Amino acid sequence: MNRMPPFGEMWRNRLFRVAALLAVVSAAVLVAAVTGAVQLRGVSAAAPVKPIPDSLLRFASPDAGPDVARAVARDVFQEDRTPAPRRYRLPGAPDDAAAQPAPRPSVLGTAIGTDEPDFATCQVSGGQPVIVRVGGRIGEFTVISIERSRVWFRGADGERFSIDASKPGS
């Protein structure tokens, strides 16, 4: 039968001393964690609620804006549905008429290849030259096709136009 050695003899073993030291340190960390988790700190009173001024609660008159009830009553998926004559804007939002169209890119050159896909070097005013391929985008414009010295683009509004590389600024 294997007897356990006396405590004094175990204490002389270096591994036993390291294990005992680690057990003491882990017990101290456990006590600190439990007391930190259970410790209650003072809770300050919440800030008083400020009333909302009546001017913020008033809405525009019903005839000043869109007729929401009529819009909800319409079937959204009707085939003959047409867009409203005027786009709805939140009060204070800028109008569409005030928005300036984006400047068109300039075409610096084109490369037509037999094995490799065609590409063009384009630049939006003030930007770095960019190499684009068919389907690529530069600014808000999408490249539709690339021909010798000419690139066809489509704008965000669906407008199609071409820019000739041999005519700078076109």
pLDDT of residue 42: 73
pLDDT tens per residue across span 8-32:
787 788 898 999 999 999 999 999 8
Task: Enumerate helices (H) and strands (E) in the chain, giving the number of each.
Answer: 4, 7
For residue 145, the cross-strand partners are 152
Q: How confident is the model at residue 120 (pLDDT cuts 50, 70, 90)?
A: very high
Give the other-Cβ count within 10 Å of 135's Cβ.
Answer: 10
Phi, psi at 150, each rounded to 5°: -145, 140
Q: How far apart are CA 86 and CA 76, in angstroms?
A: 18
Give the other-Cβ count within 10 Å of 102's Cβ.
Answer: 13
Q: Find all residues with CB under 8 Å of 138, minimum gap 6, and list them.
A: 105, 122, 124, 130, 132
Residue 76 scores a pLDDT above 70? yes
Q: How far apart are CA 156 and CA 138, in angstroms?
A: 11
Token output for 129: 């030259």
Token output for 147: 């021909």
Q: How far apart are CA 28 and CA 2, in angstroms?
A: 33
Q: Find all residues with CB under 8 Å of 146, minimum gap 6, and list them.
A: 110, 112, 118, 119, 120, 133, 134, 152
Of the two residues 165 and 87, the one the predictor is more confident about is 165
Share above pLDDT 70 across residues of the chain, in percent, rounded to a whole number: 86
Amino acid at 86: R
